[in-house]
Structure 1
Amino acid sequence: MSARVATGFAGRMEPSSRERTLADLDRLADLLDTRWRIPGTNWRFGVDALASIVPVAGDISTALVSAYMIKKARDLGAPGHVLARMVGNVALDTVVGSVPVLGTVFDFAFKANRRNMTLLRRHFGRT
């Protein structure tokens, strides 16, 4: 028996599978963007900001994880305009994040994956 996710019309996931997938993507976005807090502040950061310390390679590796999230959004049935905005967020994060020093600061401030999850949740009617 296959471990594939149950899908409905046009490959879109059924609501129960969709909610589980969205929850998994939320956890991944949290790990990438907001997992830890700087003590004494409300500033949060994740693996994306830490990886940006390694020029180019760190940003490319987190961009690949973000691309996986976009692929899962497509599997969920997100429309093209939502996917395009998600790709734009990740592209901006990757390009600006690759700039030495400035990119690391940018990665602490710009949360591409959290933004992408907000887009997905808004599209599916859950904030």
Structure 2
Amino acid sequence: MARLMDTALRIPGTRVSLGADSVLGLIPGIGDFAAAAVSLVIVNEARRLGVPNDKLVRMLFNVGFDTVAGSVPVLGDVFDVYFKSNHRNLQLVLDHFGLDHADLDR
């Protein structure tokens, strides 16, 4: 889900990738909040897996920061391309379990 939300598409000829979070953010009024709702599903799953509260708070901060900054017209859309809150949150979960992104491919 983090990949879909943050890096599902790569802009050809660049190292820049974007996902549904960036695309949803283009919808005025509700796009950033819809993306936040999906991001909160990841946070809730982390809670269910037993991730400690301090990491859950950091995850919620990432989602909140992404939502607030992403809601700024035009600049927020550019911000969403570069601030990958879901990947940051996934890394917090993986760190808790002593895993790395590469471990997911095995």
TM-score, structure 1 normalization? 0.77
Alignment of 1:107 with 2:76, yes or no, is: no
Distance 1:51 1:87 in 2: 19
AA partner of residue 82 (structure 1): K
Are 1:96 and 1:103, in contact at CA under 8 Å, matched by a contact in 2? yes
Alignment of 1:121 with 2:101, yes or no, is: no
Distance 1:89 1:31 in 2: 17
Are 1:34 and 1:44, in contact at CA under 8 Å, matched by a contact in 2? yes
- Could you list the runs of 5+ residues in structure 1 that have no partner in the other structure? 1-27
The residue aligned with 1:60 is 33
Structure 1 stretches of 4+ with a deviation exceeding 2 A read none
Alignment of 1:72 with 2:45, yes or no, is: yes
TM-score, structure 2 normalization? 0.93
Q: How does 1:1-127 map to 2 (within 5 A)?
A: 28-127=1-100
**Shift of residue 56, structure 1, vs aligned partner:** 3.0
* Aligned residues between the structures: 100
Q: SS at the partner of 1:89?
A: helix
Q: Deviations over 1:31-84 (max 9, x none)?
A: 000000000001000000011111230000010011111111000000001100
The residue aligned with 1:4 is none
RMSD after superposition:
0.6
- Could you list the runs of 5+ residues in structure 2 that have no partner in the other structure? 101-106
